[in-house]
Amino acid sequence: MIYGILSTIAFIMILPFWLVAGIFNPKLVAGFREKCGFYKQAKSGMENEKWIKREKGKGKRGKEYPPSKSKILVPPQGRDNFSTFRLFDYSTSSHFSPLTSHSEKPTLVFYGVSVGEVIAIENLIKKTRENFPDINIILLTGTKTGQEIAHKKLGEVCNFISYFPFDFPFCIENMLKNLNPTAVFVAETELWPNFARIMNKKNIPLFIINGRISDRTYKSYKKLSFFFGPILKKYTNIYTQSRQDNDKLISIGANPETTTVMGNLKFDIKKPDVSNLMFKKNPPDKIILAGSTHSGEDEIILEVFKELKKDIPNLKLIIAPRHPERNESVFNLVKNRGIECIKRSEILNAPHPKPSPSRGEGANSPALLPSCLLLDTMGELGKFYSVCDVAFIGGSFNQTGGHNPLEATIFNKPVVSGSSIHNFKDIYAILTSSDAGKIVKTKEELTQHLRKLLTDEKFYQKASKDCENVFEENKGALDFVLKVLQTLV
């Protein structure tokens, strides 16, 4: 109670300075109204029947989730100016109607603070919609980038997407009044004292899922366990990624009877179907796949490739730029480096003889290709990880923050990345605890580690086995949470 009063006074005092600062840094006030707990109310009811009809119409094709058509996915030019910024705008999903506070259907609220957390619960939310098509699903985030990825990946799945409230009592009360949640699920370990206290007081179930705590954070929380311990006890249940995370939170003050290991949601993914890939690897070849590369990284990987090929003549490279508009410039870059290259689209569109299985041939066999293949087709990168020997994950030699390495490791392919991996730092922490993954800081380190993977068969086999073990040790988290949901809806 004292904390709530003091935090409210502090909010009132800093608010004018905050708004002024927002003029120069609009990110500070992104979604300000929603963070105060004011959400746009719908005049119509829920339209979950759209989901049901769409699912029935798919037949055996499986579930697909196209990007949301939400108008706030990519803010218009000029929106970063305070005068036109969305300070008092609302966020809504495009597929379902926003919520009314009087909905009789169960309403589950999921909170992922930013990009990494939203990605972590993406499959959980999709599975929740499949298993419980008639409930209301709300996804809240804490950042503008979190909003963008939420609308892109889950805009067609959630009833409502917006911002999580500030941890001030009146903001939380507004949020609860407007959204009327049946239960709230917080991804990973976001501790908000006022939110936990008010949820507990109102007897609304509050869960931490996929909970984790870094060594650095643990040391700080442990010193302040007199403060954080009581907060942790107000959560209905805390479900952690590992035994280590579990023990840390209990030592801070979490209730051991309600704190349980669930595994890691990020590892509960399925291998893409590669039966129609139309590509067969020639057994003697070694293939490096450089996936989701950004400007500046293509040059690095090409230099590394040329250096390695001196000692590994059967080495081939598949390079997949992150942004399609860069395909042509990367293609020209490869040719200018004296590396023979062909585009994947050209192969698919060109007539070619029917392959002979008796000779071990497959459509578009690498044996018939030049040293480098530019993957310029859409939707094939995840499948192509199945044919490589080792993967370099792009967006890691600049400030992008990396991309998902699990797309490769699910095929038991070891991954190598640069040091900018903050969007997936928890995944890399697990992968690099074994030889499944490696973080390098320089081009020279990248060359050295790739050489070891490609020439040391014993080391490579261990690294591949480590990839398999990582998934085995972390599986089951999705089913775990779905069973919890069944008790609520």
So which residues are the catalytic ones? 117
381 vs 379: CA distance, rounded Å = 6
Nearest to 227, CA basis, from 188, 192, 261, 184:
192
Nearest to 249, CA basis, from 226, 216, 221:
221
Nearest to 148, CA basis, from 40, 72, 48:
72
DSSP letter at 32 equals H
Q: Which residues of 233-244 are buried (b: 16+ CB within 10 A; e: fewer)?
A: ebbbbbbbbbee
108 vs 264: CA distance, rounded Å = 20
Question: DSSP of 195-222, one letter per residue?
Answer: HHHHHHHTT--EEEEEE---HHHHHHHH
Residues contacting 203, CB < 8 A, separation 6+: none
Q: Which residues of 63-86 are buried (b: 16+ CB within 10 A; e: fewer)?
A: eebeebebebbebeeebeebeebb
Triad 146, 37, 163: Cα angle to 5°: 5
What is the number of alpha carbons within 13 Å of residue 484 lying toward its C-beta? 23
The CA-to-CA distance between both ends of the chain, in Å, stands at 31
111 vs 191: CA distance, rounded Å = 12
